Structure formats: C-alpha cells, structure tokens
Chains A and B, each alone.
Chain A
Amino acid sequence: MREVAIVAFAQSAHRRDTAEVSEVEMLMPVLHEVLGQVGLTAGEIDFTCSGSSDYLAGRAFSFTMALDGVGAWPPITESHVEMDGAWALYEAWVKILTGEARTALVYAYGKSSPGALRDVLTRQLDPYYVAPLWPDSVSLAALQAQALIDAGVTSEPELAAVAARGRTAVSSRSGADADDYVVRPLRRRDCPPISDGAAAVVLASRDTARGLCERPAWIRGMDHRIEAHSLGVRDLADSPSTRLAAQRAGAFDAPVDTAELHAPFSCQEVVLRRALRLDDAVNVNPSGGALAANPVMATGLIRLGEAAARIHRGQSDRALAHATSGPCLQQNLVAVLEGS
C-alpha cells in the first residue's frame, strides 16, 4: 500500500457567531494558511475534497460557493462529501492510494450560529418515526450518559473530570453556569460549545511528503464503520463501530501516546476511551477536543489535523485520531498516524 502523510494543518479561530463573514470568507484564510505551509497553490494540488452540510448553511448546493474560494480555475479534480471533513480526508487518502494523485487538499467548514443547532440536528434522524418527535442532540446524548451511569460504567463526578480536562486545555466552558443541568444528567460543561469554524489539511504521497514537511504524519491505517440508526437497537454504552474501525486501522497493534477523540459530549469520551482501550498513559485530547470547539462538519477533520500537528512538532510519535457522525456516535472513523 502506498504511504500517505498529513503534511499541513490549519484551522480558523472558532467562534460562537460569525455573522459578519460568509462561509467562503471564513474558509479562505484557512486555505491560504494551509497551502502556505507547504508552498503550494490550489492549482498545484492534484485532488481537492471537502466536507460540509447544506442543512447548516440553510441553502442547497452550499459547497459550490466554497469552491469559488478555492480558486478552481483552471478546472481542478474535486469532490465533496455531505459529511464531516474527516470523511473527505478518507476519500482523498483513497485517491492517493490509487496513484492518481500525489497531493490532496482537504477542507471542511460549518456555521452553526445562524440556526438552532439542537433542532437542526434532529433532521438527521429517521424521518418517519423519530424526526417528527424532534428529539434534540443534547437530549439524545443525555440518554447515552444515563445508559452509561445505569450500567455502572461512569458517574457524574467522572463526567465532570472529563469536562474539566477539556476546560483545562482550552478554557471555554468555565462560565458560572457550567454546573447547571442542560438535560439531566448532562450539565453545561458536559456539552460542546456552538461554534463556527473551518479547517484544512494537505495530504501527500511518500516521495512528495518529505519535500513538503520536515516530519510528516504518516497515515499507518484508516477505517470507518457505521452502526444501526435506531437508538433502540444499539447498546449506547458501547461503540462497536469504533472498536472495529480501530482494529482495521491497526490501532491495537502498538500503543499510541496521543489520542484526539471527536466526543462532543463528555460521556462520549468515556465510551470511546473504553472502545479504543486508552489508558491513563495516553494523552487524550490535548487540543481540548470537541468540548473546547465544535464547528460541526469540521470537528472530526480537526481531530486528524491536531493529531498530525503534534507529530509535526515532535510532541507525538504515534497518535490516534477519531471522528464521529450521527446521533450518539452512530458512525466512527479511526486513523493511526506516526512520525516515522
């Protein structure tokens, strides 16, 4: 299998509200920064792939505007997933594995601020039996947290500790209301902030990567799996899809020193740590994770970017990056990155 590495990563400052800029204006500085890191222009990239959602943007074909920001002229080889950008990275990785591309630009963006995110995300649910009830994302995560507490897997104090770690990394949820319940048993500090933001990475194949980055983050394996949609047929205290993806990505072949987990709710970090068999020796979410910033559709890609950036800086030798999609961790992606 061809070797592929993440050679650059950039992200915006994620903010609660960015009404003064369009999505393209939010994205363009990030694209310029990531391409600047490797000294390439959009036209010199072999393949471009992005992830975003029309439902966040509130209009059909919203990704076409972003393409204007990329500068797709002369025409480029390009694709888009209506998923978190982590899956755009997966598509780009496969493209490089075919040998048809040596470099790829991957980006993702999302503005949650224009709508009511908790309500918007209900539109992802089974349209006949579940969506008409409008069960919001926090309530569903609370069901998961309660299932974990009932199973004796975790407790409210442990969830508080998870949230505190995210807070220490980036102090974003330390307001006076942090202890207030949003939906029992989840308190404000257990829930992600609502964020607008964008992120981008550059991928390169073996020979190209070494010229673009001093210490590329080599993708040793990557896999993703989906579970049943209905929460009623799933064990919410477990994440078999994460475990299977990790296994297929080779995550259990050797210990990792760092893990960037896409856990928007503190209880989900508990589930993921168990599924991924991460012990206290592993530095989990040094970036603060999704509890520190949650630009929906980019949060997963940021996990891959943050893990890669630690390898670039020599702070990690072998890192795991995880991304999720859907209610209560329905779909999960795991990548294993190494510094050599």
Chain B
Amino acid sequence: MTKEPVAVIGIGQTKHVAARRDVSIAGLVREAARRALEDAELAWADIDAVVIGKAPDFFEGVMMPELYLADALGAVGKPMLRVHTAGSVGGSTALVAANLIAARVHRTVLTLAFEKQSESNAMWGLSLPIPFQQPLLAGAGGFFAPHVRAYIRRTGAPDTVGSLVAYKDRRNALKNPYAHVRDPDVTLEKVRSSPMLWDPIRYLETCPSSDGACALVLSDTAGARRAPRPPAWVRGGAMRSEPTMFAGKDYVSPQAGKDCAADVYRQAGIGDPRREIDVVEMYVPFSWYEPMWLENLGFAAEGEGWKLTESGVTELDGDLPVNPSGGVLSTNPIGASGMIRFAEAALQVRGQAGEHQVDGARLALGHAYGGGSQFFSMWLVGCERPDA
C-alpha cells in the first residue's frame, strides 16, 4: 500500500516580536493555530490530532508545556504529541504530523511550533553550564563562528559575503508583515559597520531572539479537495542526525545534511536541485550559513556557494531566491523557526506569500537544522500532487 499524499491546507503565524507581553504562552500558540484554521476554513472539531514542537523547555521555564496547552489548542479528547529535536524541531514536528496522515492514522492534523523567548534569556540558555561543558562559549554564535571561519578559509570566500546575505534578508523582511526585525533604513554599510560579536559574525549578521508561533493544517487528498485555497503538496520529507562531535566530523558541510537533502530529492525525483527547485527557505541563523548550506544542499559545488550569493542569484528577483521571507536572520522564535521555513515554502507554492512571493514558484524547499550542526529536517513542497 502506498503512502497517502499529504497537503498543507492552512498556514498561520503570529507577528514575531522581541516580547509578546500582551499574551500568555497559550494565547501565543492559539493565535497561530486560529489563523491556520481560518486559512483552511476549518473548526477545532475538524482536527483529529495535534503535534506540537518547541526547543528546550528551559526557554520558557515550563516542563512539557504541551500538557498545559492541551486546552488552548483544542486537543482535549484527541492525541497530542510533543517533538523536540533541537533547532530542527519546527521542521521535524511538521514531518511527524505529515507521517500521521501518510500512514492513514489520521486525516487532518494541526501541527504547531513556538518559542516565547522573552520568558528567559535564550543566549545563556544555549550556553551549557558546568559540569556539562567547559565555559568556553557564549551562545550559539560562539559555537558556530569557528565553523564559519573554517568555511572562509576552505573556500577563499571574500569576507564581504556574509554582509550581503544579511543585507538581502533584512530587505526581504520588509516585504513580510510577520517578520520580527524590520529596519527600513538598512544599508549594506550599516551591516558592515555593526559591532563584531563572534568574529567574523557581526551584530546585524545574527538572528534576533523572538516570541512567535507558526501553525499548519495538514490533510489527506480528500481534505485537500475540500480546501478553499490551493494546497501545497508534500513531495518529499526527511530527517537525519549525527553525533555532536567526533573525529572526522565536517562541521562546515555535515554528512547528515547531505544525506537528508539527497533523501528528499530522491523521493521527489529531483536530479538537479539548482535547476528544478524554484525557491528555498533555509535555516540561516548567521549570515554565512547561506553559502554553506547552498553547498551542503547541493545547490552549488563545494567551495562555490558564496559565488551564488555574491552574484545575486539568491536575491528575491534572482534565479534561486533564498529566504524571501527574511529568514531566521529576521525572525527567530527558535522552536518555531524550522516550521516557519516549512510554512514559507508552502506559502510560495500556494502563491500566497504576498509581497515576498516568487513569481511562478512551483517547487520550494524548507530546511531546518539544529544542535551542533547535527540534526536536519527538510521538506520539498509543490503545487502539484506527488502522483498526479
């Protein structure tokens, strides 16, 4: 028996900001869930199961918050699953939800990811204390900056490439009403003269800390047929993990990322991702990760990713737009960031991305990663049903 095709029929997200002091955690997630239901023109009763994801519970100080959120998400009397796969969790959560439909266990599933980072300090939440780790790092930037330097040394990329990514993503964010960081006065010079945080990553080349939630309504073929707006069809989805550290690990281009992308392309019958995929929403928390992931995901040969960025290929009007939404650089409620990538990819192929719509987008990749560049989740969505 083949898998049931899975469609995204509803998408909702909150306006992402530094601190949503006006709502509780329940209020935040419910806002995104209601918007997804409204988009699908469905009611809470139409949902068979809820799959929720977020990054570490310490970010809000609530252990297993899904227990408390069951009421707010209309899950009472239904199955509720909670996924946590580090930074990739938003993507993984959507894939776990999609599998419930693919396996024909459920017909219509609400999946949601969130983070309310204003409840704590995420940077120090990500800096593990003694006795777990030596006090060498300050936040994720401290962990990833050496790998960015390794990329620059390995490829000979000019040191201006990172700022180009940040300048692009921040301008794209101005076209996305939900984006957190929206600076209409952003200039390339402003990015290049912003304070250095973790060499070579400057302040304006790093992601913000956001409060936000993102929700998707997924359904089967029958549900997609009834949907009021065009669905996005899941053409492929995969997760891969590798250990945090081991001799021979390639932090610049991890094998798990390559394997994950290859699995997704195989499922979707993609031979040449650079030519066949129209738009990419990739997880770029620090500017330099755009060229790094372009190589890891097979859009550029090894050592060539920065050339795509430098030549404008990844601009909104370029040949392969990357992060038309403004990306993680503009919006980062960590647990939700992966699902926002998946959702933005779906918005593109549904033709509903508004001002940041890529003309004629038919196939879009959503990408997330987490941990020490070790957890990967991706999906490829299209405007056509997989076996149609």
Do the two chains bind? Answer: yes
Q: Could you tell me which A residues sit within 8 Å of B by CB distance?
A: 1-2, 48, 53-55, 59-61, 63-65, 67-68, 71-83, 87, 90-91, 94-95, 97-100, 120-121, 123-128, 131, 223-230, 240-241, 244, 325-327, 330-331
Which residues of chain B from 75 to 100 have a CB within 8 Å of any chain A CB? 75-86, 92, 96, 99-100
| Prevailing SS type, chain A contact patch | mixed
B372 interface hit (Cβ, 8 Å): yes
Q: Judge whether B67 and A331 touch: CB under 8 Å.
A: yes
Q: Judge whether A75 and B64 touch: CB under 8 Å.
A: no
Q: Judge whether A79 and B244 touch: CB under 8 Å.
A: no
> Which segment, of B39-47, B121-129, B218-226, faces chain A?
B121-129
Q: Judge whether B67 and A124 touch: CB under 8 Å.
A: yes
B19 interface hit (Cβ, 8 Å): no
Q: Judge whether B255 and A75 touch: CB under 8 Å.
A: yes
Q: In whole Å, how far is B36's beta carbon from the nearest beta carbon of chain A?
A: 19
Q: Judge whether B256 and A75 touch: CB under 8 Å.
A: yes
Q: Judge whether A81 and B83 touch: CB under 8 Å.
A: yes
Q: Judge whether B57 and A67 touch: CB under 8 Å.
A: no
Q: Judge whether A79 and B63 touch: CB under 8 Å.
A: no
Q: Which residues of B contact A124 (CB under 8 A)?
A: 62-64, 67-68
Q: Which residue of A lies closest to B69 (CB)?
A: A229
Q: What sequence of 0s and 1s flags, for each residue 106-139 of chain B, a beta carbon within 8 Å of any chain A beta carbon?
A: 0000000000000000000110110010000000
B285 interface hit (Cβ, 8 Å): no
Q: Which residues of A contact B96 (CB under 8 A)?
A: 79, 91, 94
B242 interface hit (Cβ, 8 Å): yes
Q: Which residues of B contact A100 (CB under 8 A)?
A: 3, 99
B105 interface hit (Cβ, 8 Å): yes
| Prevailing SS type, chain B contact patch | loop
Q: Which residue of A lies closest to B257 (CB)?
A: A75
Bound complex: CA A83 to CA B52 (Å)? 12
Q: Judge whether B240 and A244 touch: CB under 8 Å.
A: no
Q: Which residues of B contact A81 (CB under 8 A)?
A: 81-84
Bound complex: CA A120 to CA B374 (Å)? 29
Q: Which residues of A contact B65 (CB under 8 A)?
A: 127
A68-B243, A77-B238, A91-B96 known; A225 vs B67 contact (CB < 8 Å):
no
Bound complex: CA A87 to CA B57 (Å)? 18
Q: Judge whether B67 and A330 touch: CB under 8 Å.
A: yes
Q: What sequence of 0s and 1s flags, for each residue 238-278 of chain B, a beta carbon within 8 Å of any chain A beta carbon?
A: 11111110100000001110011000000000000000000
Q: Judge whether A82 and B57 touch: CB under 8 Å.
A: yes
Bound complex: CA A112 to CA B344 (Å)? 40
Q: In whole Å, how far is A207's beta carbon from the nearest beta carbon of chain B?
A: 14
A80-B83, A330-B67 known; A75 vs B238 contact (CB < 8 Å):
no
Q: Assuming A81-B84, A98-B103, A244-B77, what are 9 further A-B pairs, CB within 8 angstroms?
A: A60-B59, A61-B86, A67-B241, A71-B243, A73-B243, A78-B240, A78-B241, A83-B82, A330-B70
Q: Judge whether A59 and B129 touch: CB under 8 Å.
A: yes
Q: In whole Å, how far is A217's beta carbon from the nearest beta carbon of chain B?
A: 20
A72-B242, A83-B64, A226-B76 known; A90 vs B81 contact (CB < 8 Å):
yes
Q: Which residues of B contact A61 (CB under 8 A)?
A: 56, 86, 128, 371
A-B contact pairs, 8 of them (CB 8 A): A54-B58, A59-B129, A74-B242, A74-B259, A76-B240, A80-B84, A81-B82, A82-B57
Bound complex: CA A99 to CA B267 (Å)? 13
Q: Judge whether A94 and B62 touch: CB under 8 Å.
A: no
**Residue of A67, A121, A230 touching B243 (CB-CB under 8 A):** A67
A82-B84, A94-B105, A97-B103 known; A68 vs B244 contact (CB < 8 Å):
yes
Bound complex: CA A99 to CA B83 (Å)? 21
B61 interface hit (Cβ, 8 Å): yes
Q: Judge whether B60 and A225 touch: CB under 8 Å.
A: no
Q: Judge whether A94 and B103 touch: CB under 8 Å.
A: yes
Bound complex: CA A94 to CA B97 (Å)? 10
Q: Judge whether A53 and B63 touch: CB under 8 Å.
A: yes
Q: Judge whether A229 and B100 touch: CB under 8 Å.
A: no
Which residues of chain B from 146 to 165 have a CB within 8 Å of any chain A CB? none
Q: In whole Å, how far is A236's beta carbon from the nearest beta carbon of chain B?
A: 15
Bound complex: CA A82 to CA B53 (Å)? 9
Q: Which residues of A contact B77 (CB under 8 A)?
A: 225-227, 240-241, 244
Q: Judge whether A325 and B67 touch: CB under 8 Å.
A: yes
Q: Which residues of B contact A120 (CB under 8 A)?
A: 63
Q: Which residues of A contact B190 (CB under 8 A)?
A: none
Q: In whole Å, how far is B368's beta carbon from the nearest beta carbon of chain A?
A: 13
Q: Judge whether B58 and A131 touch: CB under 8 Å.
A: no
Bound complex: CA A65 to CA B56 (Å)? 14
B8 interface hit (Cβ, 8 Å): no
Bound complex: CA A229 to CA B72 (Å)? 10
Q: Which residues of A contact B244 (CB under 8 A)?
A: 64-65, 67-68
Q: Which residues of B contact A94 (CB under 8 A)?
A: 96, 99-100, 103, 105
Q: In whole Å, how far is B177's beta carbon from the nearest beta carbon of chain A?
A: 29
